[in-house]
Amino acid sequence: MSPKSSPSPNRSPGDGARILITEDDAEVARLLQTVLRDFGFEAHPCRSAAETRQQLALQVPDLCILDLGLPDGDGMELMQEIQRRHDCGLLILSGRAWIGDRVMGLELGADDYVTKPFEPRELVARVRSILRRRGQGSDERGPQLARFGNGWTFQPDTNLLRSASGQEWTLSSGEARLLATFLQRPNRILAREQICGDPDLSPLDRSIDVRISRLRRKIETDPHNPKMIRTVYGAGYLFASEVSWN
């Protein structure tokens, strides 16, 4: 597998951040392009999976907005392909409103999932939220390295999680934000409202559980009997580990 290609440097939300729109409905694509450009983004529409691959080969965007129903392929498969090969945000925009599709999309690595019909201003807010969580458009720098558990490390500026054995994962924006929240408040019970990590995300949203499950599968020896990310029934979650920041 080849290393992930990265987007152009010095991008920021509303200041030319490049958005690639994969949408086969011409009217929806025009609406997305117009709205995003009105808010200062550089928006490029694609009508198919093949056209999306061609654009990605030319330049990696800061964010991809993907429809799931494409004329030449499955949107979920395309999203996984982009995730493997490129370092960019991923937002699913789909008419599939079933909770199963939403959970699957987030489980497979999407940073957010928006259903059609959508409110354009809300979509822009979610795009900005993803870019902000990915560290674009801000000169603020937090701690560069967190150490926890038995030899685990996490770099919030790159979303890189590394085990004591050297195994590495590049977390999605949602996973990275969740882990950073736990690492900043270890050994404390956090309510779902405190850990949802997105001001637009309801604490009742199932995506919180999906992100916790994905983190547990990475850092827990037995994800079904977690020792680090513990559920405190009726109260929230507790990250049971000593944490140090460099």
What is each CA distance from 93 to 98, 111, 169, in whole angstroms? 13, 11, 25
- Residue 4 is predicted with a pLDDT of 64
Q: Which amino acid is at 216?
A: R
Q: Any bridge partners for residue 7, and if so which?
A: none
Q: Using an 8 Å Cβ cutoff, are 113 and 201 in contact?
A: no
Nearest Cα residue to 229 out of 176, 173, 189: 189
What is each CA distance from 103 to 106, 205, 206, in whole angstroms? 5, 10, 7
- Residue 15 is predicted with a pLDDT of 55
In a domain, 3, yes or no: no
210 in the same domain as 162: yes
232 in the same domain as 165: yes
In a domain, 8, yes or no: no
Task: Give the domain CATH number at 79.
Answer: 3.40.50.2300
In a domain, 12, yes or no: no
Tokens read off for 220: 């827990």
Domain ends where: 133, 162, 185?
133
Task: Give the domain CATH number at 198.
Answer: 1.10.10.10
202 in the same domain as 168: yes
Tokens read off for 77: 């498969």
In a domain, 141, yes or no: no
211 in the same domain as 156: yes
In a domain, 158, yes or no: yes
Per residue of the chain (246 residues), give pLDDT as tens.
Answer: 445 665 544 444 445 789 999 999 999 999 999 999 888 899 999 999 999 999 998 888 999 999 998 999 888 999 989 988 888 999 999 988 888 888 888 888 888 999 999 998 889 988 988 888 776 444 444 447 899 998 999 998 888 999 999 999 998 877 888 898 899 888 888 887 777 655 445 555 667 788 899 999 999 999 999 999 999 988 889 999 999 887
- Secondary structure class of 231 (helix, strand, coil): strand
In a domain, 162, yes or no: yes
**240: Cβ–Cβ under 8 A, 6 or more apart, which residues?**
186, 187, 227, 228, 229, 230
- Residue 85 is predicted with a pLDDT of 86
In a domain, 192, yes or no: yes
**209: Cβ–Cβ under 8 A, 6 or more apart, which residues?**
none
Q: What's the number of domains the chain is made of? A: 2
Other beta carbons less than 10 A from residue 8's beta carbon = 13
Handedness of CA 66, 70, 76, 80 (dihedral sign): negative
91 in the same domain as 113: yes
In a domain, 121, yes or no: yes
- Locate tokens 């790159």: which residue? 158
Q: Using an 8 Å Cβ cutoff, are 175 and 211 in contact?
A: yes
- Secondary structure class of 32 (helix, strand, coil): helix
CA 85/CA 64 separation, integer angstroms: 13
How remote is the C-alpha of 143 from its chain's centroid?
Answer: 20
94 in the same domain as 31: yes
158 in the same domain as 94: no
216 in the same domain as 118: no
156 in the same domain as 123: no
Instruction: Give the domain extent around 96.
Output: 18-133
Domain ends where: 133, 164, 182?
133
Q: Any bridge partners for residue 231, and if so which?
A: 237
CA 226/CA 230 separation, integer angstroms: 6
Q: Which helix (H) or strand (E) holds 128?
A: helix 120-133
CA 46/CA 88 separation, integer angstroms: 16
- Residue 6 is predicted with a pLDDT of 54
